[in-house]
């Protein structure tokens, strides 16, 4: 049940920015979550967002279901189960798998985010703005 945070973040951005730039910001934040690299191969730049559970299988567009990845990986994975697909890849490694699983469980918190005062302020304002 980690979805609320993301929703709050998106809501905050929607309130404070226009709709287009809020969405852009949301996607931008996601892309840089793995250091700007593809979460699967960690070689190419993450230029796309993969639906971990494909939309066609009822996957959501929430942060926990979106993984920054490169176009080749996104394309190769298509609508296959991410873990089945990932374990077959040459670049598969268990640590990366754990990171992705934490991401899906929404437990991964970046150290930079915790140290970033703006992030804390934003969360505080956001919580205030969302207690309707």
Least distance between Zn ion and beta carbon 15 (Å): 34
Least distance between Zn ion and beta carbon 95 (Å): 16
Site string for Zn ion, 86-125 (x = CB under 5 A): ----------------------------------------
Query: HSE (CB half, 13 Å, CA atoms) of 62?
Result: 18
- If the CB atoms of residues 21 and 79 are measured against Zn ion, the closer one turns out to be 79
Length of the chain: 132
* 66 touches Zn ion by CB under 5 A: no
Least distance between Zn ion and beta carbon 71 (Å): 8
The H or E element containing residue 26 is helix 19-31
Per-position b or e across 101-121, b if 16+ CB within 10 A of its CB = eebbebebeeeeeeeeeeeee
* 40 touches Zn ion by CB under 5 A: yes
């Amino acid at each position: 049940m980690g979805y609320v945070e993301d929703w709050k973040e998106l809501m905050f951005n929607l309130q404070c920015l226009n709709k287009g730039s809020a969405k852009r910001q949301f996607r931008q934040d996601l892309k840089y979550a793995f250091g700007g690299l593809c979460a699967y191969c960690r070689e190419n730049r993450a230029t796309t967002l993969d639906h971990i559970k494909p939309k066609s299988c009822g996957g959501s567009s929430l942060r926990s279901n979106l993984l920054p990845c490169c176009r080749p990986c996104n394309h190769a994975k298509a609508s296959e189960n991410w873990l089945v697909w990932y374990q077959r890849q040459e670049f598969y490694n268990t640590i990366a798998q754990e990171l992705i699983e934490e991401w899906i469980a929404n437990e991964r918190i970046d150290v930079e985010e915790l140290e970033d005062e703006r992030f804390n302020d934003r969360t505080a304002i956001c919580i205030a703005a969302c207690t309707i």
